[in-house]
Amino acid sequence: MAIENNAYIFGWNRAIVGREGVAGELFGTTVAYFEKLQKTGKLESFEPVFLAVHGGDLNGFFYLKGTAANLHWVSQDDEFVDILLRASHCLEGVGFTPAYRGTAINEMMTRWTKNIPR
């Protein structure tokens, strides 16, 4: 049985030097887009997160929650694809990846444990 993801992480490292203003504008556009999706039921919720300075390559992300079907829809939506492409022009280390939460965590841990080399 396939384990369905029920969250996504849309993360980045930092703004490209000289494009900080564009990155800030895109952040506002992205928040407005996610708010619209939440109001229409395409997202259960979303949360923007900035990390404290730590020397790593992930310095912020949006945590998106929803059903697997709705999250897949979001990942294919033209407006979201445009946001990802714009992000790649003003941010370093842009990434968008499925994540697991709730009961899916137990399923993933069971699968992970089962596959530990013996």
**Each residue's pLDDT tens digit, 1-42:** 566 779 999 999 999 999 999 999 999 999 999 999 999 999
Confidence bin at 103 (pLDDT 50/70/90): confident
> pTM for this one?
0.90
What CATH code is assigned to 7-114? 3.30.70.100
**Each residue's pLDDT tens digit, 51-93:** 999 999 999 999 999 999 999 999 999 999 999 999 999 999 9
Q: How many CB atoms lie within 10 A of CB 43?
A: 22
